[in-house]
Amino acid sequence: MQQKSIKFNEEIDFTPSPSGGISVIPYYQNKVTDDQETKNYTNKLFDERVYTEGEEKINLDPDRLNNFRKRLAGRRPTNGQIFTQTYTSYVNIDSNQRNRLPINNYDQILYNLPPFPLIFTNGSSMVTVNLENHPFQKNDRVILDNVTSKNVMLRDVIMVKKNSSFVRIKHENHGLSLFGLYDPSDISAFESVEYVDYLPESYTNHEDIPDTTTQYYILRTNIEIDLTIQLSGVKGSNVTKTKIGNIPVNILNDKQTVYLLFTKSSATEFTPDKNSYLIRIPIKSNINYQDNNDCHNNVLIKYYNLFGVPLNYINRGTPINECRKFQYFTVLNVTDNTFQVDVGYNAIYDITDPTYSFYDYSDAMCQDIDVQLLINNFIGGGSQAYTRRIEYIITGYPNPNQYQITLDKSYKNIIQARIISSSFPNSQRMINNQTADVINNRLYWRNLEEGDYIYHLEVTPGNYTYEQLAKEIEYQFNNTLRHVYIDSDIAIQNTSCSDIVKQKKIKYIDQQPSIGCANSLVKHNKRIVRTNLRQNSRALYDRDGYYRYHIVKVDINTDTDIVEFSAFRQIRLQDTLDTRILVIPDYFINFTAAENFQINFGITGTQIVPQIINPFSPKCGEVMYIYFTPNTHIRIDFDYVYANYNLYQYVGFVGSSTSTSQGDNTFQVALETDRALLFNFYRTKSVYPNVISTQELRSLNTTALLQNFTFDFINAIVTMADNDLHVGDLIITDQFIYPSTPTELFVYEIITIIDFDSFIVKKYPHGTKYKFIYDGIIINFSPDGASPYYWLDQILATDPILPVAPNANHNTLSFIEITPTDENKTIMRVHQPNHMLNVDDEITISGSESINNVPTDIINTEHVITQIIDDDNYEVEIQTAFPVVSLSTLNTVIIKYPDIFQMFFNYPDTLGNKLSFNKVDQPNAITPYLHTIKNTTPYKIDYDYASLGDDYIQRLRKLDMTGPNYFYITSPELGIYHNTQPVVNVFAKVRWENDLSFDDQCCNKDNVIIDSFVPTISVFDNPISVLYELNLAFCHPDGRLVEFNGIDHSFTIEIIEVFNQPDETDINVRINSEMIVRRTE
């Protein structure tokens, strides 16, 4: 601000008009004398303690002043002394009374322009104005006003097809053009539109009539070009004349953006249609309609542009409004009869078409113009335009954070000024997006699986509690479309490239190219996209079931000051006839077998199996496992979907069966999920009586397969890279080669883990320790290495089990009954293709039906992954619950699972500081890729040393949503504060009451801060000679203007003037005299 209102010892009397709500409160005056009471009163003007601690008010009314004078007159001889008098005024400053808008003050002469005085040039914003003998000179400030385009009355021009989003206006020689704004041979610049061709001579209102004769196109960037018209007078085709089909006429009788139509004149050339254009409607028409067939319409079309230049760029002046976008022109060139100005918008007309004209003979024009002249030249503006020259401009102050106030009078010889009361709105937004204030409402991130695309979101500016802020951030995350769906959704919505955010340059620690604007997306590796398209998107999930938007959970803990961002993805999956998404295995199963596995059913026993058999003996510490697949139990038709492909361990007999029971016996097995079993052997796969020779390569409860290994038979060491096996895991194989038994199948147990790649195994003799019923065969029941396995079933499914008596020795080992129980179902297997998840990851399941008699509330909740089965399957634990009845249906479930991302705080406009992230706006403030990112997470490249290089601990900053706790009032006329850089001319300091939810003596319920100024006294060593205006600004400590968000304020300034008065006279010498300022003692 200019310091133009401080003048010292000028012999001028200022009498300005007051502004800004200035009012003067009654004042008092006194003499500075040796009278003790008077001295005490006067000294209080200079005693800061009065303002900080307070004293009793002084009752100094006129009667008391007269008593002072009488006492002094009686005590003191007249000696011709001149006494210093003070004069106190209270000036009210109210920002509501400031001049808000600029005002042009014009010369008295208004110059009417001749009809159609403006001359345009294609591709240029320079406009020549015709005015004979004008007085203007170069650099004069002038305005043009009342410039008009053309108004056209047309009859029966409206047409719309069923299923169309456009209404076609048949307007011959409409004069609108996009010439020079596109390459007519660039196919990518155009997009096709459907249902806009003319209707046939014969049609019905509701038949579907696609375009078949001509394919029409519009320019993709048409929406960005201001070709605005207004329709009026359109009437509907229904009885009430309010609708054309489902289109309300109020939609049509409004301002419209014109879409020019193009057709292909050749395979690669596009030609504009000069006789019709489109307007877009927000709904698709449900009928075919054409004026003159269904009803008649007289439509008035008003143009809001002149040769493509919007009229509000041409008409200028104050006040600025919809019709006037700018305040004035500066005259650039003059001749005797013309002057030239820059309208700031290029004119558009077709210079290649000799028949082109903006005007047409049918257009309504004034009588004072030769129509042919108008058509053949590029002139316009109507017949009522005028111009004026601006003498001076009164500055407007639209915001209450910086303005000028003219005082009610001129104050002279000012020795002291201070604020004595104030009322300021606590209207600052802690999170903002105002360039003039602060931009701190953004977050930037990148997903691990999506390349170099950097997303950003913007939090709605405002004041939040931390809970509200967390919800707002989550909402903005969840409305951000993933970039792989952007192109398809933009095409669907016919949006422009403005959905890709333009960005300032940013910093990268890897020194890759900076980001410029949206058009750089193709050129640079880094891309910044903002894709809030949810409102118009067709679906939340893609064809593979993946959720198309981001999911991020935000937690702000005010007790610990820790902020967490956790990213998730979501997929919707449905069961098929072959694959179930969720399987809850039966935990306990009761098997009823035709023969007891604990008796000798071999060649030396009941002779069911023609081999020597070592029966299963749990008493001797032996363990038996059962694993089966569909269709392997030939005597049982039911498919046990919740038992298939699971591993079970023998528990014990059920009922009356014992280890010596013969014939039918029932025993129970329990689900085994901890011990891993690896199979690799050659077998004759037998589902009796079919025989298939195959290699059995399978693993249970582990993803490791027994392949690509080496075996040291001397030390029994197996080397297999990254096997992730454990002590106690079992291996059933004939691939560990011993010289003495090179092809025999043995059972091995891991007894020692050497490292990640190696382990030591123990080999068990044939027929001992571990026995298996595996996929239709029994393994390791024989001590004969030549017969390591045999069929489980010895008869056909249709053959009878003999003898019939259930307690007699039977002719097969077959299972004749399998009965799962509802007890202890504690795990659930999830089929999620290509899940890329890990043990301890947390998933959330929703939407599932009851499965295997387990209730939905046990299934539809959060789960922790306890085991990775393979790339497509994993396992979680579930709670036990009372069983319910489950229906056998195809289940559809939604799985929410962890996503990996990184966040960027190397931008200056992020929320990082508000969320207590450190090193914000520094190049290295980029996190590693994680599922959960905290404000305590070290950056990918981090350091812990101070500016001088010494080590230090980066402490977590306290969460703070308050912002600066004070601001300055600056005035070059009254500034007295020191040490306030970068703010200068500080007159006062005002404290914020930042907690908007807290109400105390400084902040009322309306968030108005009362008298929160810091008490100070401004005493001027050199009195201010004259003060008639104040230039005020309200600044944060960093120099930014305080954003009051349009809310006004007020405060009161106490001004003390001093003047000389000869003793025992009533003469006041207030100016033009030597000042004698003394402090009484």
Q: Give one DSSP letter per residue of 678-735, joined into a string.
A: EEEEEEEEEETTEEEEEEEEEEESSS--S-S-EEETTTTEEE-TT----TT-EEEES-
Confidence (pLDDT) at 541? 93
pLDDT grade for 539, boundaries at 50, 70 and 90: confident
* Position 252 in a domain: yes
Q: Compute the distance between CA of residue 177 and CA of residue 169 in angstroms, rounded to an integer.
A: 15
Mean pLDDT, rounded, for 320-328: 94
Looking at the fold, whether 320 and 235 belong to one and the same domain comes out as no
**Residue 257 identity:** T
Looking at the fold, whether 720 and 776 belong to one and the same domain comes out as yes
Looking at the fold, whether 321 and 357 belong to one and the same domain comes out as yes
Confidence (pLDDT) at 518? 30
Looking at the fold, whether 343 and 205 belong to one and the same domain comes out as no
Q: Compute the distance between CA of residue 1036 and CA of residue 1043 in angstroms, rounded to an integer.
A: 9
Confidence (pLDDT) at 1000? 41
What pairing do the DSSP bridges indicate for beta strands 770-774 and 623-627? parallel
Q: Compute the distance between CA of residue 763 and CA of residue 751 in angstroms, rounded to an integer.
A: 10
Tokens encoding 667: 């025993």
Q: Compute the distance between CA of residue 949 and CA of residue 471 in angstroms, rounded to an integer.
A: 40
Tell me the pLDDT tens digit for each residue of 162-200.
Answer: 999 999 999 999 999 999 999 999 999 999 999 999 999
Looking at the fold, whether 230 and 273 belong to one and the same domain comes out as yes
DSSP state of 311: H
pLDDT surpassing 80 at residue 963: no
* Position 862 in a domain: yes
* Position 940 in a domain: no
Looking at the fold, whether 614 and 748 belong to one and the same domain comes out as yes
* Position 526 in a domain: yes
Phi and psi at residue 951, to the nearest 5° = -70, 145
CA angle 330, 334, 336 (to 5 degrees): 140
Q: What is residue 247's three-state secondary structure?
A: strand
Given a contact cutoff of 8 angstroms between Cβ atoms, the answer to whether 668 and 654 are in contact is yes
Q: Which domain holds residue 463?
A: 442-545+902-934
Tokens encoding 619: 């008493």
* Position 945 in a domain: no
Given a contact cutoff of 8 angstroms between Cβ atoms, the answer to whether 382 and 148 are in contact is yes
Residue that terminates a domain, selected from 820, 837, 864: 820
Confidence (pLDDT) at 428? 78
Tell me the pLDDT tens digit for each residue of 279-307.
Answer: 999 999 999 999 998 789 999 999 999 99
Tokens encoding 1056: 């003390």
Confidence (pLDDT) at 499? 34
Given a contact cutoff of 8 angstroms between Cβ atoms, the answer to whether 851 and 588 are in contact is no
Max distance between CA atoms of the chain, in angstroms, equals 150
Q: Compute the distance between CA of residue 40 and CA of residue 69 in angstroms, rounded to an integer.
A: 16
The CATH code of the domain that includes 872 is: 2.40.30.20
CA atoms within 13 A on the CB side of 1069: 13
Tell me the pLDDT tens digit for each residue of 765-786.
Answer: 999 999 999 988 999 999 999 8
Of 165-174, 810-819, 1014-1023, the poorest mean pLDDT is in 1014-1023
Looking at the fold, whether 60 and 207 belong to one and the same domain comes out as no
Tokens encoding 264: 């292909």
Tokens encoding 876: 């979680």
Domain count, the chain: 6
Return the closest-CA partner of residue 940 out of 922, 928, 952: 928
Return the closest-CA partner of residue 890 out of 540, 548, 641: 641
Mean pLDDT, rounded, for 66-78: 52
Looking at the fold, whether 977 and 1064 belong to one and the same domain comes out as yes
Looking at the fold, whether 56 and 166 belong to one and the same domain comes out as no
Confidence (pLDDT) at 429? 83
Q: Compute the distance between CA of residue 156 and CA of residue 234 in angstroms, rounded to an integer.
A: 10
CA angle 645, 651, 653 (to 5 degrees): 115
Looking at the fold, whether 96 and 107 belong to one and the same domain comes out as no
Of 166-170, 251-255, 868-872, the poorest mean pLDDT is in 868-872
Instruction: Catalogue the E-assigned strands of 960-1017.
Output: 966-970, 986-991, 1008-1010
Tell me the whole-structure pTM to 2 decimals: 0.69
Strand partners, 685: 692
Q: Compute the distance between CA of residue 525 and CA of residue 529 in angstroms, rounded to an integer.
A: 13
Q: Between 977 and 1, whose confidence is greater?
A: 977
* Position 16 in a domain: yes
Looking at the fold, whether 48 and 118 belong to one and the same domain comes out as no
Return the percentage of the chain with pLDDT > 90, whole number: 63
* Position 569 in a domain: no
Given a contact cutoff of 8 angstroms between Cβ atoms, the answer to whether 311 and 317 are in contact is no
Tokens encoding 8: 């010292």
Q: Compute the distance between CA of residue 662 and CA of residue 810 in angstroms, rounded to an integer.
A: 8
Return the percentage of the chain with pLDDT > 70, whole number: 82
Mean pLDDT, rounded, for 868-876: 91
* Position 529 in a domain: yes
pLDDT surpassing 60 at residue 137: yes
Distance, CA of 160 to chain centre: 38
Q: Compute the distance between CA of residue 77 and CA of residue 69 in angstroms, rounded to an integer.
A: 13
Per the prediction, the chain carries an average pLDDT of 84
CB burial class (10 A; 0-12, 13-18, 19+) of residue 298? Answer: middle
Q: Between 462 and 35, whose confidence is greater?
A: 462
Looking at the fold, whether 994 and 1079 belong to one and the same domain comes out as yes
Confidence (pLDDT) at 529? 57
Residue that terminates a domain, selected from 915, 934, 953: 934
Return the closest-CA partner of residue 934 out of 568, 564, 567, 477: 564
Confidence (pLDDT) at 1064? 59
CA-to-CA separations, 147 to 143, 304, 358, 753, 782, in angstroms, rounded: 11, 10, 16, 91, 107
Mean pLDDT, rounded, for 664-672: 95
